[in-house]
Amino acid sequence: MKPKQSLEWIKQFELNCNNLNYKVGGIDCWPIARNTLLSIVLPKSRQGGQPKYSIASKQIIYFVRAVRDLFSFKKADIFVLTDTKFSENISGSIYLKDSHVIREEAKNNSETSTIALQNLFIGDNVVGRECCRSVFAIILISAVLAKLSFIVKFIPLLSGYVERLCGELSDAPMLSDSSISYEKLKSQIYTNILFCIVASRLFSYVLKRVRPKRAYVVCYYSVLGMSLCAACRRMEIPITDIQHGVAGGSMRAYSGWMNVPRDGYTTLPDRFLCWTVYDARAIREWAQHTVRHEAVAVGSLWRNYAIEKFLLREVEDQWADFFLKINDYEKKILITMQSSELAPLFVDVVKRSKPSYCFLIRMHPGFLLKKDQNYTDLTRSYPNVFFEQVSQIPIQVLMRHIDLHMTEWSGAVIDAYFENVRSIVISEVSLDYFEELIAQGKVIYAHTLKSILRNM
- pLDDT tens column, 73-112: 999 999 999 999 999 999 889 999 999 999 999 999 999 9
| pLDDT digits 0-9 by tens, 271-309 | 999 999 999 999 999 999 999 999 999 999 999 999 999
One-letter identity of residue 169? L
Q: How far apart are CA 402 and CA 386, in angstroms?
A: 13
Q: What is the residue extent of each domain of the chain? A: 1-49+56-309, 314-455
Q: What's the CATH number of domain 314-455, 3.40.50.2000, 3.20.20.80, 3.40.718.10, 3.40.50.1100?
A: 3.40.50.2000
Across 238-338, where does the E strand assignment appear? 239-242, 271-274, 294-297, 331-336
What pLDDT does residue 179 have?
A: 64
The pLDDT tens digits along the chain (456 residues) read 788 988 999 999 999 998 899 999 999 999 999 999 988 877 665 544 333 334 455 667 777 877 888 888 999 999 999 999 999 999 889 999 999 999 999 999 999 999 999 988 889 999 999 999 999 999 999 998 998 877 877 788 999 999 999 888 887 787 766 667 788 889 999 999 999 999 999 999 999 999 999 999 999 999 999 999 999 999 999 999 999 989 999 999 999 999 999 999 999 999 999 999 999 999 999 999 999 999 999 999 999 999 999 898 989 999 999 999 999 999 999 999 988 889 999 999 999 999 999 999 999 877 778 888 999 999 999 999 998 899 999 999 999 999 999 999 999 999 999 999 999 999 999 999 999 999 999 999 999 999 999 999
Residues near 273 by Cβ (< 8 Å), separated by ≥ 6? 240, 241, 242, 243, 296, 298, 301
CATH architecture entry for 1-49+56-309:
3-Layer(aba) Sandwich (3.40)
Give the distance, in angstroms, between the CA of residue 104 and the centroid of all CA atoms in the same chain.
22
CB 228 within 8 A of CB 203: yes
Q: How far apart are CA 274 and CA 237, in angstroms?
A: 20
pTM, to two decimals? 0.92
Please tell me if the domain spanning 1-49+56-309 has the same topology as the one spanning 314-455.
Answer: yes
